[in-house]
């Protein structure tokens, strides 16, 4: 968040078995202090929690044997932890609220052509479903609309993209009631 370091992904699309693999690297803004957070394995969406910790959906082999899961990885170390294996069961986009007290998470498409949006309280280790949004079958594959939830600056509301009404729209959701339930 301070802009002092950045993370980037190096992908091998010709990995054995046909599945691409990703290495997670970080460096300072001059491209120095290069650090390999995770060697070539499964890694996907990420978000800087603060200047030292990144949330990542990955196989977490450097820090755990739980397999594909949301992890918090500490930059410049091989330390980390799974966030909540019982709650985070699918890959998706995650982001911490500006105040750092909440985590948003959306799912990739389910077999029933829906995407789900979740709110999670890391301190209480509690989460809940915010909504389920139908995706028309024509919006699957290269023509799709991920929810990509984004926090309002005051951490009390979010916006997200969706096609559940038959067009691509941007929606706003107040989270005050859901936050009371998850405290």
Tokens standing for residue 182:
């998850």
Tokens standing for residue 175:
């989270």
Terminal-to-terminal C-alpha distance of the chain: 26
> Cα separation of 47 and 102, whole Å?
13
- The answer to whether the beta carbons of residues 136 and 116 sit under 8 Å apart is no
- The answer to whether the beta carbons of residues 24 and 75 sit under 8 Å apart is no
Model confidence pLDDT, tens digit, residues 90-127: 888 999 999 999 999 998 777 788 899 999 999 999 99
Strand locations in 29-125 (E): 35-41, 43-48, 53-58, 69-74, 80-82, 94-96, 103-106, 114-121
What does pLDDT average to over the chain? Answer: 90
- pTM of the predicted protein model: 0.87
């Amino acid at each position: 968040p301070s802009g002092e370091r950045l993370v980037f992904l190096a992908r091998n699309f010709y990995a054995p078995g046909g599945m691409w693999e990703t290495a997670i690297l970080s460096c300072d803004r001059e491209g120095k202090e290069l650090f390999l957070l995770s060697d070539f394995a499964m890694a996907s969406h990420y978000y800087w929690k603060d200047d030292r910790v990144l949330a990542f959906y990955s196989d977490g082999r450097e820090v755990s044997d739980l397999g594909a899961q949301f992890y918090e990885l500490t930059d410049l170390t091989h330390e980390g932890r799974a966030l909540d294996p019982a709650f985070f069961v699918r890959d998706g986009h995650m982001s911490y609220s500006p105040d750092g007290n909440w985590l948003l998470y959306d799912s990739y498409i389910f077999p029933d052509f829906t995407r789900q949006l979740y709110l999670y309280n890391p301190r209480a280790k509690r989460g809940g479903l915010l909504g389920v949004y139908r995706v028309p079958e024509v919006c699957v594959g290269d023509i799709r609309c991920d929810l990509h939830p984004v926090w309002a600056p005051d951490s009390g509301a979010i916006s997200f993209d969706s096609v559940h009404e038959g067009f691509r729209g941007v929606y706003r959701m107040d989270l005050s009631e859901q936050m009371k339930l998850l405290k």
